[in-house]
Structure 1
Amino acid sequence: MNFEHLIQVNDPLNPFVDTMTREQLWNGLVLRAEQPQLFVLGLDSCTILSRTESTIERELHYGHATVRDRVTLMPNESVRYDILATEAHVGGSLTMSIEQPDELQLFLRFEYRTTLPAALDADSRQTEEIVKSAYRESDIDTVRLIRQYMLGGGEPDSVH
């Protein structure tokens, strides 16, 4: 299953939403990569196994389950998460890319690529739509938490 969507971070037509800079958004994406337990519901802990200038190898602990992934950082551009498929977990990738068509607008594009097969029947399509909806809600929450961290200067209201 492949899925992508765009979230508007800055809206020049909405005076009630504080404007974030590209650098603030990038710093929030790095925070999410380094401390995912602040963003991901159900994640107990994250162990960084190795790090280079552009990659982070991590081990994520969800109760008794452990998932390993690799995060690739393209400074001020994108963060890509690659999860290896195991017997218990679907593999795939998530790329979060910053898009800035002009000085006033700022967007974050989310691109999911999973090993889930394409939906062929009504039940599978319904399940696929539920998964996409969950991804969207999680991504909206990610942007909200980044905004709280980068503009609020502290802990978000609700840390997962």
Structure 2
Amino acid sequence: MPRTVHFEHLVQINDPTNPLLAPISRDQLWRGLMRRVEQPGEFLVGVEHVALAVRSAQLIEREMLLGKLRVVDRISLEPGRSIHFDTAPSEQHQGGSFTMTIEEPNPGDLFVRFSYRTALPDGVGTPDSAAGDAYFADYVKAAYRDTDVDGIRWIRELVETGEL
């Protein structure tokens, strides 16, 4: 049975203690997160092609090519609140899931919770590879965190230039 890495982190969007940081509305944030779904090449390195096979208010099915890697996602939408990706496993990768949830504990105090569940690749997760598991998990978590922080930074730039 494959073992999985679960990782979750929170990114603050609006900071009332920082007057240099222009606030983003919930609607602008949602549009930015949807842009990550619809135009992933702006957020991920190496995206060569994206096709949206199915599109409705609650569901998107998407195929991406990143070099020779083909990624097929089923994306469930709860408009204005959350986006959940289920990535199908293939010969090239183990698949997994990813959720972006907008949280607003107080009016205007926006955060995005990023939650990942990724299967460990073959060969990782054997009883004699605990150190390798920890290294791999830490590497994956750092990559996810960096991608998400960069994505929010890009959304902020899109808001500042009037694109969102």
Give 1:158's aligned residue. none
- Extract unaligned runs of 5+ from structure 1: 156-160
Residue identity over aligned pairs, in percent, reads 42
User: Greater CA deviation, 65-74 or 116-125?
Assistant: 116-125
What amino acid is aligned across from residue 123 of structure 1 in structure 2? G
> Does residue 137 in structure 1 map to residue 146 in structure 2?
yes
> Does residue 110 in structure 1 map to residue 83 in structure 2?
no
Give 2:131's aligned residue. 122
| Cα distance in 1, alignment partners of residues 53 and 90 from structure 2 | 18
Contact 2:41–2:48 (Cα < 8 Å) also in 1: yes
- Extract unaligned runs of 5+ from structure 2: none
TM-score, length-scaled by structure 2: 0.88
- List aligned pairs for 1:4-153, cutoff 5 A: 4-116=8-120, 121-153=130-162
| Cα distance in 1, alignment partners of residues 160 and 74 from structure 2 | 28
Contact 1:48–1:58 (Cα < 8 Å) also in 2: yes
Contact 1:11–1:104 (Cα < 8 Å) also in 2: no
Structural RMSD (CA): 1.7
| Cα distance in 1, alignment partners of residues 54 and 12 from structure 2 | 33
SS at match of 1:136: helix
User: Greater CA deviation, 52-61 or 134-143?
Assistant: 52-61
Q: CA deviation at 1:151?
A: 2.6
Q: CA deviation at 1:86?
A: 1.0
Q: CA deviation at 1:44?
A: 1.1
What amino acid is aligned across from residue 87 of structure 1 in structure 2? E
Q: Deviations over 1:14-49 (max 9, x none)?
A: 111110011110011111111111111111121111
SS at match of 2:13: strand
Q: CA deviation at 1:90?
A: 2.0
What amino acid is aligned across from residue 135 of structure 1 in structure 2? Y
TM-score, length-scaled by structure 1: 0.91
Contact 2:11–2:149 (Cα < 8 Å) also in 1: yes
Aligned residues between the structures = 155
SS at match of 1:44: strand
| Cα distance in 1, alignment partners of residues 66 and 59 from structure 2 | 22
Contact 1:20–1:151 (Cα < 8 Å) also in 2: no
Q: CA deviation at 1:64?
A: 2.2
SS at match of 1:81: strand
